[in-house]
Amino acid sequence: MPTVSMTVNGRAVTGDVEGRTLLVQFLREQLALTGTHIGCDTSQCGACVVHVDGQSVKSCTLLALQADGSEVTTIEGLAASNGDLHPMQEAFREHHGLQCGFCTPGMVMSAVDLLNKNPNPDEGEIREWLEGNICRCTGYHNIVKAIQSAAENMRG
């Protein structure tokens, strides 16, 4: 079995995987990082979004082997080491940007990448960016408000 090595949330990890093992499976099943969710088998829902080398990626669309040597950040790695939430997590909490919470890890990881690329997105840009993230509870209104608020806080 091939071996993969990568840095996940600042920690060097190594594991044996099959050629077909997806990055999301490696994270959840071998590293027990179950904050990254699987909500579909068609690469549509975005519940599995993580950052690979600083870019948001649907981790169900990438083989673990393709992430060999990469820096991966999952929702578990977003808060500060002292436990302080990331401003995006704070904003989702403050603006009730979640209902059941299933889509939330992917939404938050996508939203952080949006603000990395565009620190001051307008509502249309936020909605367009989130096209690849589906909320089955349909809580988009508060999700957009949370991202606008996080953007403001992070700029300020």
Question: What b-and-e string marks burial along 39-54, b requiring 16 or more CB atoms within 10 Å of the CB?
Answer: beeeeebbbbbbbbee
Q: Which of 27, 31, 80, 94 is nearest to 57 (CA)?
A: 27
9 vs 104 by CB, closer to ligand FES: 104
* Alpha-carbon radius of gyration of the chain: 15
What is the binding site for ligand FES (CB under 6 A)?
Answer: 38-40, 43-48, 58, 60, 98-103, 135-137, 139
39 vs 121 by CB, closer to ligand FES: 39
Closest distance of CB 56 from ligand FES, Å? 12
Closest distance of CB 81 from ligand FES, Å? 27
Closest distance of CB 123 from ligand FES, Å? 18
Both ends of the chain: CA-CA distance in Å? 49
